[in-house]
Structure 1
C-alpha cells in the first residue's frame, strides 16, 4: 500500500502540472505514455518493440497521435498514405519472416496501435477543447473506480465477470455508476459544464459504464496472454495500460457524445 501511495503522489505531481499547462509539454507526455503502452501490449504477444513490426507500429502510432497541421503540416498532408505504406510493409514482412510474424500478428499490431493511438490522441484533443473537459473525464474514471471499490467492499456479493476479473461485483459496478451520477450533479449545480443536469447525468453514466468496460477489456487481454500486469513502470500500480485502460474508452466517447460542445 505504501508503494502504491508514493507512486500515485509522484505521478500526480508530474502529470497534473502538464495537464494544466497543456500545449507541447502535454503532447510530449501523451507521446511518452502511448509509446510505453504500445511497448507493454506488444510485449504481451512477444513482439519486440525494436523488431520490424515493432518499429512499424511505433511509426503508425506517431502518425495517429500527431495533432492537426499546427505542428506537423507536411505529415498531416500524407498521413493516410504513410499509414497505408506501413501496413503494406508489415504485410510484406509476413512473407520475409517465413510466417514467423503472421497475418494474425500483423492484425494484433494494427489493433494495438488503433486501441492505444485513438485513446491517447483524444487525451490531447480533449485538453485542447478545454481543461475542464479533460479534468471531467479524469474525474469520471476516478470517481467510478472509487465508488465501485467502496460499494463492492461494502455490499458486493454477485460477481460481475468472474472469468475476466474475479474481484469485480455487480453491486460495485452499479455503485460506480451511481458515484459518477453524483459527480454529474455536482458539476451541473456548480455550473462547471453547460449541459443541463439530466443530460449530463445520462451522458456521464454512459461514460462511466464504458470506462468500466475499458477496464474489463484490458483485463481480458491480460487473461488471454496470462500476465498479471501490463508492465512495471508504476510500482504498485502496474503499467501504463493498467492505469489508463478506462480513459482509452472514456475520452474518445466524450468527444463523440454531446458533452464537449
Structure 2
C-alpha cells in the first residue's frame, strides 16, 4: 500500500505539471503516455512473437497520427480523421498478406486496441485545448470511482462483480458510482457551471459506469494473455495501461455524450 501511495503521488505530480504548464506540455505528456502504452501492447505475450519491425513502426506512426493529426478542440464534435483511421487500418491489416506469423486475428486486435487508445488520447488533447477543467472533471469521476469502489468493496463487498476481475464486487461498484457521481457533480457545478444538475448527474453516472467497463475490458485482455499487469513500470500500480484503462472508456463516453446530451 505504501508503494502504491508513493507511486500514485508521483503520477499525480507529473500529470499536474503537464496539465498546468500549458497545451504544449500536455501534448508532450500525452505523447509519453502513448509511447509507453504502445510498448506494453506490442509486448503482450499473444502479440509480441507475431510482430516484426515494419509492423511495429507502421503501428506507432498510425497510432501517433490518430492522436495528433486533428487536435483542434472544436474537432471533438466532428469526429476523428478518416484519413488517419484508414492509415492505421491499412498499416495493421495489409502486413498479414506478407507474414506467416502475423495473422488477421492479431492485426484486428492491434487495430482495435490502438484505435480505442488513439481516440481516447486524442480526445484528451482536444478537451485540454477547449476547456481543461472539463477534462479534469472526467478524470476526477474516473479516479473517484476507482478509489471508492476499492475501499467500499474492501469493507462491505460480498457479491462478485465479474469473473474477469474476482476482487471487484457489486457493492464496491455501486459505491464507486454513487460517490463519484456526487463528487463529479459538485466539482462540475462549482468549477465549470452552465449546465443543469440533472444533466451532469446523469453524465457523471454514465462516465463512472463506462470507466468500470473499461477496467474490465482491459482486465479481460490481461487474463487472455495470462499476465497480472501490463508491465511493472509503476511500482504498486503495474503499467500505464493498468492506470488509464478506466479513463479510456470514460473519456470516449464523454465525447459521445457531448453530441447527445
TM-score computed with the length of structure 1 as normaliser: 0.87
What is the deviation of 1:241?
0.4
Contact kept? 1:184, 1:197, Cα under 8 Å: no
- How big is the alpha-carbon RMSD for the aligned residues of Structure 1 and Structure 2? 2.3
Cα displacement (A) at 1:177: 0.9
Task: Please list every run of at least 4 consecutive aligned residues from structure 1 whose deviation after the TM superposition is greater than 6 angstroms.
Answer: none
Q: Alpha-carbon deviation of 1:94?
A: 2.1
Aligned counterparts of 1:18 and 1:107: Cα–Cα separation in 2: 32
Structure 1 partner of 2:55 = 53
Which of 171-180 and 60-69 deviates more?
A: 60-69
Aligned length: 251
Measure how far apart 1:150 and its partner are.
2.1
1:39 and 2:39 are equivalent in the alignment = yes
Distance 2:92 2:210 in 1: 31
1:108-257 to structure 2, matched below 5 A, reads: 108-161=109-162, 163-187=163-187, 190=190, 192-257=192-257
Q: TM-score scaled by structure 2? A: 0.87
Decide whether aligned partners of structure 1 residues 178 and 101 sit closer, same or farther in structure 2, where only a CA change above 3 A counts. Answer: same
Q: How many Å separate the matches in 2 of 1:34 and 1:220?
A: 21
Q: Residue 11 of structure 1: SS of its match in structure 2?
A: helix
In our comparison, the structure showing a higher alpha carbon Rg is 1
Hey, what's the Cα distance between the residues in 2 that align with 1:164 and 1:181?
25
Which secondary structure does the structure 2 equivalent of 1:165 belong to?
coil
Q: Which residue matches 1:104?
A: 105
1:94 to 93, 96, 103: 96
The equivalent residue for 2:13 is 13
User: Unpaired runs of 5+ in structure 2?
Assistant: 73-80
Contact 1:254-1:260 within 8 A present in 2 as well: no
Alignment partners' CA distance in 2, 1:186 and 1:82: 38
